[in-house]
């Protein structure tokens, strides 16, 4: 069966520090991968998605970036965190066609001090 | 572009009462619709989905939803609430063409009192 792992579960970082959140999927090949940010009362905001290795699409301009160095690995990064980067970050995967659901990891709670 | 509106950021029910969470969508083409549930500090779990065919869809934990094209709605219901149903619920829409990008509503927090 397929599983998705996100780490760390919680992270407290100072303003201006770098960030690296990792997501890996097991049990499927060539999945579509997604990064979301969830802010209270605002639902889920799609940040990045990827249809294959090295292919990244950005939905929202910001100081975050994403990379997909391997088929089932998706990384969210920042060189310098802002206070506004605080939130709950979720990774998800899906496979075509578009009527298939997305499957979510347990998320990372990021607090910026 | 498609969008989703969830009426009511909070819904309170008593244990054993009917649960009704509202979702209206906007889409220029036939949509695919999903309901997800999120427990505190966890990811989203799929409750049910509508793609094609039968408009009344049954999901996990006794939930069901009905796709009503004329009303552009996909409301989630459960006949009898349980304390364990207390969570946040998200409705989402995607188009049936091309790459799957979900558009989520802002969520409804369900509170269940004894």
**Cross-chain residue pair B104–A109, CB shorter than 8 Å:** no
Does any CB of chain B come closer than 8 Å to the CB of residue A53?
no
**Higher pLDDT pick, A87 / A42:** A87
C-alpha span between B39 and B37 (Å, rounded): 7
pLDDT score recorded for residue B101:
85
Over residues A45-69, mean pLDDT: 91
Residues of B in contact with A99 (CB under 8 A): 32, 49, 51-52, 96, 100
Degrees (nearest 5) of the Cα angle B31, B36, B41? 145
pLDDT tens digits along A63-98: 899 999 999 999 999 999 999 999 999 999 998 887
C-alpha span between B51 and A82 (Å, rounded): 40
Low-confidence stretches of chain B (pLDDT < 70) are: 96-98
Assess contact for B48 and B89: CB atoms under 8 A.
no
Is residue A27 scored above 70 in pLDDT? yes
Over residues A44-48, mean pLDDT: 92
Is residue A41 scored above 90 in pLDDT? no
**Cross-chain residue pair B100–A42, CB shorter than 8 Å:** no
pLDDT score recorded for residue A50:
94
Three-state SS at A62: coil
Report the gap between the CA of B51 and the closest CA in chain A (Å): 6
Over residues A27-53, mean pLDDT: 90
pLDDT score recorded for residue A3:
92
Looking at the partner chain, which of A100, A103, A109 has a beta carbon nearest the beta carbon of B41? A109
**Cross-chain residue pair B46–A43, CB shorter than 8 Å:** no
């Amino acid at each position: 069966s397929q599983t998705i792992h996100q780490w760390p579960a919680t992270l407290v970082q100072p303003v201006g520090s770098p960030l690296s959140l990792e997501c890996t999927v097991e049990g499927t090949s060539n999945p579509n991968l997604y990064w979301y940010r969830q802010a209270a009362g605002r639902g889920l905001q799609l940040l990045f998605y990827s249809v294959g290795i090295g292919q990244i699409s950005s939905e929202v301009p910001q100081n975050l970036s994403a990379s997909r160095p391997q088929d089932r690995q998706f990384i969210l990064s920042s060189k310098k965190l802002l206070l506004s980067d605080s939130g709950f970050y979720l990774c998800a995967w899906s496979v075509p066609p578009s009527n298939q659901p997305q499957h979510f990891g347990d998320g990372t709670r990021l607090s910026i001090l | 572009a498609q969008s989703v509106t969830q009426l009511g950021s909070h819904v309170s029910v008593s244990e054993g009462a009917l649960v009704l969470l509202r979702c209206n969508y906007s889409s220029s083409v036939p949509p695919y619709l999903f309901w997800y549930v999120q427990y505190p500090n966890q990811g989203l779990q799929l409750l049910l989905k509508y793609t094609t065919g039968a408009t009344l869809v049954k999901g996990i934990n006794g939930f069901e939803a009905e796709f009503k094209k004329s009303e552009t709605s996909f409301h989630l219901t459960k006949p009898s609430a349980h304390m364990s149903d207390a969570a946040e619920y998200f409705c989402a829409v995607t188009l049936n063409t091309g790459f799957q990008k979900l558009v989520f509503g802002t969520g409804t927090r369900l509170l269940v009192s004894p």
